[in-house]
Amino acid sequence: MNFIPQIRPADVLDILLVAFIIYWVLAFIRGTRAVQMVSGLLLVMGLFVLSKKLGMVTFQWIVGNFLGSLMVILVVIFQNEIRRALAKVGQSPIFGPRTAIPTLDFLEILGVAVFGLASCRTGAIVLLERDNGLQEFVENGKEIDARFSRELLEAIFSTASPIHDGAIVVRNERIAAAGVILPIPGDTPATRGMGTRHRASWGISTDTDTIAVVVSEETGRVTIFHDSDATRVNSVSDFRDTLRSLFGKGGTVR
């Protein structure tokens, strides 16, 4: 009698798919607070198993009831991560057209304008919309829908402007809104030591595929936040080439 189970192609596919999902989830939450939460849940589950072996009735009952609602608990705790994950899945081309790549001329103009602010130590946040729409932020700011120019950017972020503390949203090479207030994420290993502008920009570039350009008011440095990462640029050409590369990952040339 053959006691070795027959492995079907579907079983191999099932194992590979589950392994890929686990790897993708671990890579997705790396560097976020979710890692600490997962570690805490694993510790609680380990204590539950230990309590069963030691016959700890009360502790086992408390933790057992807690783990009985694990799915609801996971949704509540990881609601932000789940939203981000679903948004990234929805970025597949089958769900809609990809964002067009900005022209080199526009990136050059944007770079000159940004480094103009940097030379004057004028703090700023410029959000470049990609596949994840930023309409909810546009509606909460001051809608402008104006052609982008260096002069307009300097006017918006001038300290005399009533909306200079917020971010601007750039959509299709136009300023869609200004004075946009961004949510500031909690303290994590990735955001530790960041100022308010940098932390807010890191947060939106993590929750969406937005590219956030930050000009530091204290140092005049220009940083590009994208896909939970940060790149410091030191010149207009470096700025232009970095953005061209980032948009080239998924956009269509026009």
Give the tens place of pLDDT for each residue, 186-242: 777 777 788 889 999 998 888 888 999 999 999 999 999 998 889 999 999 999 999
For the cut 60, the answer to whether the pLDDT of residue 95 exceeds it is: no
Nearest to residue 247, comparing CAs of 201, 209, 198?
Answer: 209
Put residue 223 in one of left, alpha, beta given phi > 0 → left and psi -120 to 50 → alpha. Answer: beta
For residue 146, the tally of other CB atoms under 10 A from its CB is: 13
Which distant-in-sequence residues (6+ apart) come within 8 Å of 210 by Cβ?
A: 127, 128, 129, 130, 132, 134, 204
Percent residues over pLDDT 70 in the chain: 83
Dihedrals phi, psi of 141, to nearest 5 degrees: -105, -155
For residue 207, the tally of other CB atoms under 10 A from its CB is: 18
For the cut 60, the answer to whether the pLDDT of residue 3 exceeds it is: no
For the cut 90, the answer to whether the pLDDT of residue 99 exceeds it is: no
> For 51-79, what is each residue's pLDDT tens digit?
888 888 888 788 777 777 777 777 776 66
User: pTM score > 0.75 for this model?
Assistant: no
Contact yes or no for 211/239 (Cβ under 8 A): no
Contact yes or no for 126/204 (Cβ under 8 A): no
Domain ranges of the chain: 9-77, 104-247
pLDDT at 249: 52
* Topology of the domain covering 104-247: YojJ-like (1 (3.40.1700)
Cα–Cα separations (whole angstroms), residue 68 to 44, 49, 52, 232: 13, 14, 15, 46
Q: Classify residue 167 as exposed, middle or buried by CB count within 10 Å of its CB (0-12, 13-18, 19+).
A: buried
Task: Please tell me which residue, 79 or 40, carries the higher pLDDT value.
Answer: 40
Contact yes or no for 131/99 (Cβ under 8 A): yes
Nearest to residue 117, comparing CAs of 231, 208, 197?
Answer: 197
Mean pLDDT of 89-93: 54
> For 133-146, what is each residue's pLDDT tens digit?
788 888 888 989 89
Q: Give me the sheet containing 229-233, strands edge to edge.
A: 142-147, 174-180, 167-171, 124-128, 211-215, 222-226, 229-233
Put residue 179 in one of left, alpha, beta given phi > 0 → left and psi -120 to 50 → alpha. Answer: left
11 vs 19: CA distance, rounded Å: 12
